Structure 1
Amino acid sequence: MFGFYFKKNFADGWDNFFFLVLSNAITILLLVGSYFALKAADSFGPYAVLLAFILCTAILSLSLFAWGANAAKIADFRAPSFGLFFSALKNVWKIALAFGILISVVLILVRFAVAYYLAMYFNDGSLLGLIITAALGWFVFVSAIALQYFIPLYFLQENNGFKKCLKKSFLIFYDNVGFSIELFFVNLLLFILSCVTFMIIPGLNGILLSSTNALRLRLYKYDWIEKMSETDPDFEKNRDKRNEVPWDELLAEDKESLGPRKLSSFLFPWK
């Protein structure tokens, strides 16, 4: 399944290359604006910097959420549009700002907590400080992996509000730990590539497309479990049976829609 996800995601990014680049231009402007906003806030003191960081993260989250609607369309083999981006803004602004504020506040609290507990360890030799620091590190790592699914969940499933997206993000992570970690490292590589290209490609929007593609395919597993549970009430509780997912069957339609897409078709699309 992971191999097909990787192939489809690359194909979707390639087919929408120019749209991604133009969409990332908005993100780049927001990142540059955030840099200057934080720099300007620094002259007003540390509290102004923290407030500016929260505000900038919330605005960036709003942009990503608005683009998430296009990511869902691309993942579903449909054409994206800038009109959808702007129309989505009025629908997602509440959850987007809430998500951005949550992320920024948690990062701020963890930053100060880590500094405090590391000081306990280095200054007082307290082993407890080191243990708590390690626990905070694992908390951030697990949360980063789980929250890859937050924005895609909002667009791929109906009736998902803030609490449901948050809860389901962690449930999907714990039910698909190996896949989620693999996806995280793919997105990490995409982020490194984005830094090299100054966020032009694949950029934050490309990383969001990656997570959306991954989750869209992974959700087939739960549709299959629900279908099997209709004939076998104990099926969902049987972890061995649940792990025998017939991916070839579940992905057959998507594979047909994507086509063979050999390397030569990417390099020479006119052939």
Structure 2
Amino acid sequence: MILFMLNKAFWDAWDNMGRLLLINFVMILLLAIPVFLPKTLIQIPVLSVLSLVSSILLIFVYIGAVSAYVRDLVHYKSPELKDIIGHLQESWKKSLILGAGALFFYFICFTGFQFYSALGNIMGLIGMAFLFWISVIVSIAILFFFPVMNNLDKNMIKILKKSFILFFDNTGTALVLFLAIIVNTILSFALAFILPGIGGILILQESCMKLLIFKYDYLEENPDADRKKIPWNALIREEREKVGTRTLKGTIFPWKD
């Protein structure tokens, strides 16, 4: 399932590269705001901090709207770019709350690390270790936030709850998703965020969510089934057929196949 998830995400990104380029271009412009705007207001610290916070929140709002658009791509639909406006109207409040919550959470973690490191004793090490693993768990679990919002629920509390349930119930898959996003981010840095960029990350998240929904639909229909023995081959047979058997060489140089 995991290998197929990565394979599907790659080909979904490949098939929608034009759309991803546009999504990523807007994201690059938005990323430039928190990088350069606070520097222009450095003489006014309050405005500098407010501009940084506002810019980050704007990025969360944008990602929330685009994630729903990417969800449609992963489900083999052909959404129009104007659909993002509709998604924005539906998701901006929850995206804003998530962004504010994330800023507050990581600020607390940063402050906590400074406090515990200053202790210089065993309690400080325990405190830093605790904060580290809490931040890791929250960071991975929150990767499911937008996929859950787009596919399962619209209630803020339930979205958060289901995000953590998905993490603890699919820890291995969540870790692979997290590592894949890290690799995606590193590659994006190397390519100046043009590709795969935020579009590629969102495709990874939505591909993972789509396959997990197959799992939970199966468990709902078969409540006595062994949760450790999910018949993935049967569940994703249709998805395999839609993705098809393709190679990168054959796609770039079809005349060589």
TM-score w.r.t. the length of structure 1 is 0.89
Q: What are the within-5 Å matches in structure 2 for residues 137-216 of structure 1?
A: 137-157=132-152, 159-216=153-210
> Residue 54 of structure 1 contacts residue 100 of structure 1 at CA under 8 Å; is this kept in 2?
no
CA distance, structure 2, for counterparts of residue 129 and residue 41 of structure 1: 36
Q: What is residue 24 of structure 1 aligned with on the other side?
A: 24
Give the drift of 1:144: 1.2
CA-CA distance at 1:192 after TM superposition: 0.3
8 Å CA contact 1:69–1:84 kept in 2: the answer is no
What is the letter of the counterpart of residue 167 of structure 1?
Answer: K
Instruction: Give the superposition deviation at 1:180.
Output: 0.8
Residue by residue over 1:115-137, the C-alpha shift from the partner in whole angstroms, topping out at 9 and shown as x without a partner, is: 1111112xxxx211121111111
Q: Give the 3-state SS of the residue equivalent to 1:255 in structure 2.
A: helix
Alignment partner, residue 234 of structure 2? 249
Aligned match of 1:238: none
Q: One-letter code of the match for 1:164?
A: K
| Shift of residue 156, structure 1, vs aligned partner | 1.5
Distance 1:79 1:265 in 2: 24
1:199 counterpart SS class? coil
Do 2:9 and 2:203's aligned partners in 1 also have CA atoms closer than 8 Å?
Answer: yes
CA distance in 1, matches of 2:75, 2:100: 30
Q: Is the 8 A contact 1:67 1:85 kept in 2?
A: yes
Question: Cα distance, 1:264 vs. partner?
Answer: 3.4
Q: Is the contact made by 1:55 and 1:101 (CA closer than 8 Å) also made in structure 2?
A: no
User: Match of 1:129?
Assistant: 124
Change (3 A) 1:192 1:246: same
The C-alpha deviation readout for 1:66-117, integer Å capped at 9, x for no partner, is: 1011111111111242111122111111101111111111111211111111
What amino acid does structure 1 have at the position aligned with 2:52? F
Please list every run of 5 or more consecutive structure 1 residues that lacks an aligned counterpart in the other structure. Answer: 236-240
Name the residue aligned to 1:228: 222
Whether the 8 Å CA contact 1:14–1:266 is kept in 2: the answer is no
Percent identity, aligned pairs only, is: 30
Verify the 8 A CA contact 2:68 2:87 in the aligned structure 1: yes
* CA root-mean-square deviation: 1.6
Q: Matched residues in 1 for 2:22 and 2:151: separation?
A: 24
Q: Give the deviation of 1:43 after TM superposition.
A: 2.4
Tell me the CA shift for residue 50 of structure 1: 4.1
Output the amino acid matched with 2:19. Answer: F
From the superposition, tell whether residues 84 and 268 of structure 1 become closer, same or farther in structure 2 (CA, over 3 Å).
farther
Unaligned runs of 5+ in 2: none
**Whole-Å separation in 2 of the counterparts to 1:216 and 1:193:** 24
Write the distance in 2 (CA, Å) between the matches of 1:108 and 1:48.
Answer: 18
SS at match of 2:8: helix
Q: 1:57 & 1:174 partners in 2: Cα distance?
A: 28
Tell me the distance in 2 between the aligned counterparts of 1:53 and 1:118: 26
- Residue identity in the other structure for 1:40: T
